[in-house]
């Protein structure tokens, strides 16, 4: 079945780069997403990548997609304390109903 896996916790120092990793199982996914959730709030879309792309860069964010290994990563350059949040990886699977499959979320802790 469809499944998305992430590590649960990552701690970095302010100014360092953060890399959050994700693996997924459904090779028919056309889009993969990274969402950010701040404490007590809803999720916000950070970025997404189309499945025929290997990389997408958006300011401090770089998404890498290895479709062969079904591996997705999010790199945040020059990580700031405001980046502390939970980051969710998601895929849209084989349906077009908008049923995204989410990972468990990675809590990013940024130390000053």
Partner 1 sequence: DGGITQSPKYLFRKEGQNVTLSCEQNLNHDAMYWYRQDPGQGLRLIYYSQIVNDFQKGDIAEGYSVSREKKESFPLTVTSAQKNPTAFYLCASMKVRFTGELFFGEGSRLTVL
φ/ψ (deg, to 5) at 78? 50, 60
| Spatial distance between the Cα atoms of 94 and 12, rounded to a whole number of angstroms | 35
Toward partner 1, which CB reaches closer, 30 or 80? Answer: 30
Least Cβ distance, residue 50 to partner 1 (angstroms): 8
| Spatial distance between the Cα atoms of 67 and 58, rounded to a whole number of angstroms | 20
Least Cβ distance, residue 4 to partner 1 (angstroms): 8
> Which parts of this chain interact with partner 1 (CB under 8 A)?
4, 8, 30-31, 33, 35, 40-45, 48, 88, 92, 96-100, 102-105
């Amino acid at each position: 079945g469809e499944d998305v896996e992430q590590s649960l916790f990552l701690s970095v120092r302010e100014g360092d780069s953060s890399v959050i990793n994700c693996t997924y199982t459904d090779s028919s996914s056309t889009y993969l997403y990274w969402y950010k959730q701040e404490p007590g709030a809803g999720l916000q879309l950070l970025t997404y990548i189309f499945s025929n792309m290997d990389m997408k860069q958006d300011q401090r964010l770089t998404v890498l997609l290895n479709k062969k290994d079904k591996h997705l990563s999010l790199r945040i350059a020059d990580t700031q304390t405001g980046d502390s949040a939970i980051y969710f990886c998601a895929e849209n699977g084989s349906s077009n109903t908008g049923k995204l499959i989410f990972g468990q979320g990675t809590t990013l802790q940024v130390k000053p």
